[in-house]
Amino acid sequence: MKRFLSAAILILSVAAALPAADVIELGFMPMIPSLMGQGGAAVATARGWDSFFTNPAGFSRDGGTFTVLEAGAWLYARPDQAIAIAQEYIANPASTGLASLVGDQITGGGFGIGASTGIAYAAKGLGLGMVIVTDSYFWGPTLLGMTGDVTATVGFMGGMSFPLQAGPFLIHVGGTLRPMVRIHTLLPNADALAMFMSLQAGDTLMTALGTANAVYGVGVALDVGAIAELGWFTFGLSIRDVGGTVFNYSIDDFATLATVFWSELRLPPGSTVTDRYVIPMDVSFGAAFHPLFGKFNKVLDPTLHVDLTNMVNVIGGAIAGDNSAWTMVHLGAELRLLGVFSAWAGLNQGYFTFGAGLDLFVVDINASLFTRELGRYLGDRPSSGATLEVAIRF
């Protein structure tokens, strides 16, 4: 364990010396209900599908999975207003009522939708998969003053993990290589308003994005991690996007990009982007408590865990007075009943989360409600949402 902690301190020290990116890109991460319902904590409990997005050391842990198909969708809006927004859109997309409802979300924490679909094998030390993630987010002081962006990423993932016995500890060490193709449509105020009005008129998203500028290209990420198991306790260290994942972007209007891509299945040459677009490195540490009651665990199986994520950036910001340390804290709890039902609760950056799941033989159905902090400190810009996932897993 001393070596494990020493490695974590060394990594944090090296990471703190790395230069900052010019333009920050979002990480490659679907809103997985089982994670979001537990406050986003999973570094020390990663296994199976979750390992691709939290800690690749989970590939060699018990409980691996073959996900034949995963389909997820999420909405960034207050859950109590999400149904009203959907009903209003179905009834009349051009109504002033819909504009008012969406406007309340945009000014009150942000509004957006996202989806994911993928296939992946993560078991017996091997992780292979492909996931497509689309995401959007709009925010502003007023509806007419909003800005936003729409991102689509295709990620290919390949990794390995292996267990090592070190005294009383069983340590899993793993890594993942993630080549990604990303299209990031930039929507300053005028383009965001044009898109919103186009959608209200009944146009498709492809048409609504129109002549908005889009940057697009390829990036290759490296993730590494370790999980140490000792009886009822596990400890995890995860470093995602080691050194920062740089995207080699070109830029063109979205209409040209879409036309070339769908007709010729390639990205147009576009113009070279001078700014660096980078997903920052995320160094995270987690600890979990999982009581082992033998056969009783098949009836009642609880787990408690805590994560500190994005430690380098948050701690650096907190020291400078720009960030609150609360933004890196994630607390989670899971209770499995009869191996079929799951209930989750957590504290995500100071906000409560909860959810539930159902495992019907090879079909998983999971849903969660969550709030995340997009600002620099607790209460700065909280964004609530709901996420649903259906998956076929073995």
d(CA 188, CA 197) in angstroms, rounded, equals 14
State the chain's mean pLDDT as an integer. 88
For the chain, helix (H) and strand (E) counts, in that order, are 8, 18
- Please determine, for residue 81, whether its predicted confidence score (pLDDT) is greater than 50: yes
- Please determine, for residue 13, whether its predicted confidence score (pLDDT) is greater than 50: no
Weakest mean pLDDT among 16-20, 65-69, 130-134: 16-20
How does pLDDT run across 355-391, given as a tens digit for each residue?
999 999 899 999 999 998 887 777 778 889 999 999 9
What percentage of the chain exceeds 90 in pLDDT?
62
- Please determine, for residue 19, whether its predicted confidence score (pLDDT) is greater than 50: no
Task: Give pLDDT, residue 223.
Answer: 98
d(CA 102, CA 81) in angstroms, rounded, equals 9
- Please determine, for residue 198, whether its predicted confidence score (pLDDT) is greater than 50: yes
Task: Give pLDDT, residue 2.
Answer: 52
- Please determine, for residue 58, whether its predicted confidence score (pLDDT) is greater than 60: yes
Mean pLDDT, range 69-74, rounded to an integer = 97
Check if CATH label 2.40.160 holds for domain 2-393: yes
Task: Give pLDDT, residue 155.
Answer: 97
- Please determine, for residue 251, whether its predicted confidence score (pLDDT) is greater than 70: yes
Q: b/e per residue, 269-299, with b = 16+ CB within 10 A?
A: ebeebeebbbbbbbbbbbbbebeeeeeeeee
Ordered by start, the domain boundaries in the chain are 2-393
Split at pLDDT 50, 70, 90, the class of 16 is very low
Mean pLDDT, range 23-43, rounded to an integer = 94
Contact 225, 3 (CB under 8 A): no
Task: Give pLDDT, residue 4.
Answer: 47
Task: Give pLDDT, residue 321.
Answer: 56
Mean pLDDT, range 1-25, rounded to an integer = 54
Q: Return the H-helix or E-strand segment holding 131.
A: strand 126-139
Phi, psi for 225 (deg, rounded to 5): -170, 170
Weakest mean pLDDT among 16-25, 82-91, 140-149, 239-248: 16-25
Task: Give pLDDT, residue 142.
Answer: 86
How does pLDDT run across 200-246, given as a tens digit for each residue?
777 888 888 888 999 999 999 999 999 999 999 999 999 999 999 99
By CB atoms closer than 10 A (0-12, 13-18, 19+), residue 125 is middle
How does pLDDT run across 137-178, given as a tens digit for each residue?
999 988 889 999 999 999 999 999 999 999 999 999 999 999
How does pLDDT run across 273-332, given as a tens digit for each residue?
888 999 999 999 999 999 998 888 889 999 999 999 988 766 665 555 566 777 889 999
- Please determine, for residue 122, whether its predicted confidence score (pLDDT) is greater than 90: yes
